[in-house]
Every structure is written in C-alpha cells, then in structure tokens.
Amino acid sequence: MVAPCLTTRCNPLWLVAKSHRTSISTFKSPSVVVPRQANGSKGARALPAARSRPGVLGGTGAREAAGAAQAEAALGFELGLYWTRVTPDDKTLVGDTPWFSRPRSAFGLNLGWTPTELRSGRSDHQPTTYVELQGRQDLWGLALGVALSPGEWTRARSGVQLTPLCGPFYLRLQSMFDGSLSIELGVAIKIPILISFGG
C-alpha cells in the first residue's frame, strides 16, 4: 500500500500486492479493512511499513578552520528510507478506506546531496553527498553519517557528521577530514510516502 500523508491522520492512496497481483485504488483498500469497534476495545494491530521521505533542507551556520569562523548557508536535497509500523483506525467501517495514525518511531537511512551553487561561504566548495543512519521516536531523532566531496577526501565538505533532530528542525555538527569543524541549524521540508505490508 502506498499512502502519501501530509497530516497527523490521512486518507491514503493504497497499493496492495495480493496473490502475486497488484491493484490500485484511490478510494478503498482491497485488503486492510477494520470493523467498527466499541469504545474501550484494543483497536487494530500495527502493520509493518516502509516510509520514504524526499524533501529539501535549508540551514545556516558557521565553519571553523585555522582558528577563524566563517558564516555560511546551504540548501540541499535528501531522501529518507525508514522501517516503521502503522496502526489503522479502529473506527473504520468494512469497505471504507482505513485511516491510520502517524508512525511514532522509525529507523532507516538518509541519502543527501548539496550542490555547489546552493552553498554560501568559502569559495572552494565542492558538491557534497552524505549517507546517514537515522533513528526517530515521536518528535526526537538522531542521525550519524559520513559526507564526501569528489576528489580528495580532504577537500571542502568531506567528514563525519552528527545530526540531532526535533520535529522538522535539525542541528548538524560536522568534523571535516581537513581538520575544520562546522555547525548548521536548519529546517527540513519533506513529503512522507508510506508503503504498508500486511493486512
């Protein structure tokens, strides 16, 4: 099932694979339906799901090198791929499209890219890519990874990075292979897409 979700609760587009066939419905789920239950019931069981979150990140900060700090800003692109669990609404009628709650926790991978033209500050910037492992619980999260620029590892933005998260905001701390340090505070704007398995 594929379900774009922009709010805490959303009415999804389902993509369901069943008996080696795939069907798409924009109105009803062909497999996940939950009868209406009385108040006080335990509700629907959680389903395993994969979550994709493409988006843009914009931030500002400073980079220290040779004892001097220089202000800089950047706009980059990131794709997140996470494993999580979702719970359909326990008040959905049979035959209706189920709603579901926002995943509370997730663990996965971030792939990012910042082009040279979208970073200010030093004049020797190179396009930068990075890979991170990320864990998240409710609003809070933490990502750890490595950033690489083309050519020698000591050029521009190659190094390791640690990124605490709170909602859409992030604080990225980087230690470069050339010995410099940087800090960046920014916001991530992403579109979550949910792929749910089971039913």
- pLDDT on residue 169: 97
Cα 143 to Cα 147: distance, rounded to the nearest angstrom: 12
- pLDDT on residue 129: 92
Q: List, for residues 48-62, the tens digit of each pLDDT value.
A: 888 899 999 999 999
Q: List, for residues 82-133, the tens digit of each pLDDT value.
A: 999 887 766 555 556 566 677 789 999 999 999 888 888 766 667 889 999 9
pLDDT of 78 over the 80 cut: yes
- pLDDT on residue 155: 59
- pLDDT on residue 63: 86
Enter the DSSP assignment of 117. Answer: G
- pLDDT on residue 154: 58
pTM for the model: 0.71
**Per-residue confidence band for 29, with pLDDT thresholds at 50, 70 and 90:** very low
By the 8 A CB rule, do 26 and 52 touch?
no
Instruction: Show Cβ contacts of residue 7 under 8 Å, excluding neighbours closer than 6 positions.
Output: none
Cα 67 to Cα 165: distance, rounded to the nearest angstrom: 28
- pLDDT on residue 12: 41
- pLDDT on residue 99: 66
Q: List, for residues 137-190, the tens digit of each pLDDT value.
A: 999 999 999 998 877 665 567 899 999 999 999 999 999 888 889 999 999 999
Cα 169 to Cα 173: distance, rounded to the nearest angstrom: 13
The closest of 167, 159, 161, 95 to 132, measured between CA atoms, is: 161
Instruction: Show Cβ contacts of residue 85 under 8 Å, excluding neighbours closer than 6 positions.
Output: 46, 47, 48, 49, 103, 105
- pLDDT on residue 125: 67
Give how far the C-alpha of residue 99 lies from the chain's centroid of Cα atoms, to the nearest Å.
21
Residue type, 144: L
Q: List, for residues 3-16, the tens digit of each pLDDT value.
A: 444 333 344 444 43
Instruction: Show Cβ contacts of residue 117 under 8 Å, excluding neighbours closer than 6 positions.
Output: none
